[in-house]
Amino acid sequence: MNFLESLKRHTTVVADTGDIAAINQHKPQDATTNPSLIYQAAQKPEYAGLHDDAIQYALKSPGDQPARRDAGMDKLMVNFGCEILKLVPGRVSTEVDAALSFDTQGTVAKAHRLMALYEEAGITRERVLIKIASTWEGIRAAQQLEREGIHCNLTLLFSFAQAVACAEAGVTLISPFVGRIYDWYRKERGADIPPDQDPGVASVTRIYNYFKKFGYQTQVMGASFRKVEQIVRLAGCDLLTISPDLLAQMEKTPGEITRCLSAEAARAFNEKKIHLDEKNFRWMHNEDAMASDKLSEGIRKFNADTRKLEQFARTKVETLLAA
């Protein structure tokens, strides 16, 4: 028995990568992607076919140059998702462009386009999660999409306010970012933080207990881990999405992991139920300096990587046209 095998007894393990070979190696139930991961994977020669197919799709699409560019990016994201779904029995998460993070209707429209491409490829809605940034606008978009039967994964989640608002909106899944929370507090303190005081682990534990105590159906998927100790302390969480390097470390570590989170234990959780309208959400989130910083930073980073991916595609188009 190794750590990864043991963890799978308590939690659904998800691969946090766009690298299809890594997914095939570790055999997770689900997989998640984001613009940064797709950008890294798209540059590998073994995935050139997925990129070239998206380029051809863009060139044949109607509309002006920006419209064709958007069509090609959507197709590229879905191409990777479809390849991943050949290897995992569960779901894949595909992210909406971060530039739409404050645009509710733009996010809804993008989700519709992504889902249409999946359905054209023969993939049912139950196997896809649309990833949306956990802004107020993003949460409202997810609420609308869930009512239409399109399931959502709310990402870039750092504050308790974001988590509560997502649960009240009835989203399928949230991805609180353990490692990025840890990074912020470590920088503030100027030193490593003991495992039993890890603020990222504490955040996910609080959210999980709150959801289970009050009967929310929204699943909690801890994300963005920096070390195995963080994963071990969240054993029992609904899902955990883990990078290939940490999955490999866990496979090489013999031993069993003790369950730390459970719905039964959550019943004793000492916290009152709250309701958040837009005003209260924005204030509560704003009062969390870490969450405000990391949400803004995360949106900027994902947007920058999406633009890098677009530039990479433009370069390939120019090469094809010049040939």
**Catalytic positions:** 131
Residue 223 pairs in a beta bridge with 177
CA 285 – CA 289 distance, rounded (Å): 8
Q: Tokens 């840890």 label which residue?
A: 182
The neighbouring-strand residues paired with 132 are 154
- What are the angstrom distances between the C-alpha of 73 and each of 53, 100, 131? 11, 14, 15
Compute the distance between CA of residue 29 and CA of residue 37 in angstroms, rounded to an integer: 18
Q: Amino acid letter at 176?
A: P
Total length of the chain:
323
Task: Tell me the CA distances in angstroms from 223 to 7, 71, 76, one per residue in order.
Answer: 15, 29, 23
Q: How many CB atoms sit inside 10 A of residue 116's CB?
A: 12
